Structures are given as C-alpha cells and as structure tokens.
C-alpha cells in the first residue's frame, strides 16, 4: 500500500512539471523500472534544472562576449 502511494506521488510530481523544459526527464523517470521514489525523482529534476541553468548562463555569456567583440571592432 505504501508503495502505491509513493508511486502516485511520483506520478503527480512529474506530471506537474513544465512539459517544455522537463518532458525528456519526465519520460526518463516514468520509464524506469522500478519507478524511483519521490526523493530520487526530485533529485533528478534538480540536477537537470541546474544543468539547464548552467547551459543557459554559458550561452548568454557567449552571446554577450560576441556582441562586445563585434562592437569593439
């Protein structure tokens, strides 16, 4: 019974995520056998969010450096 409740919590959590950002992670989590517990699913999303933030920050810096280089010419 506790396992069913835990699975329901995981499903609710991942289905509530922004589908544009986390669709792949949602699919990955839901396809795992056995389904991870809520803490592991949450930790996976946190890692993915950090990676997305890091990538966006790096891309933003590259764009700014490129613009600064172009202006400096």
Please tell me the predicted confidence (pLDDT) of residue 52.
83
9 three-class SS: helix
Name all contacts of 51-55 with Cβ < 8 Å and 24+ positions apart. 52/21
Q: pTM of the predicted model, to two decimals?
A: 0.69
Domain boundaries, the chain: 2-72
CA atoms within 13 A on the CB side of 44: 21
> pLDDT digits over 17-73, tens only?
998 888 999 999 999 999 999 999 999 999 988 988 878 776 666 655 555 555 555
């Amino acid at each position: 019974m506790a396992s069913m409740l835990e699975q329901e919590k995981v499903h609710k959590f991942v289905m509530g995520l922004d589908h544009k950002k986390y669709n792949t992670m949602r699919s990955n989590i839901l396809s795992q056998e056995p389904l991870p517990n809520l803490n592991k699913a949450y930790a996976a999303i946190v890692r993915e969010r950090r990676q997305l933030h890091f990538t966006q920050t790096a891309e933003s810096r590259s764009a700014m450096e490129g613009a600064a280089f172009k202006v400096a010419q």
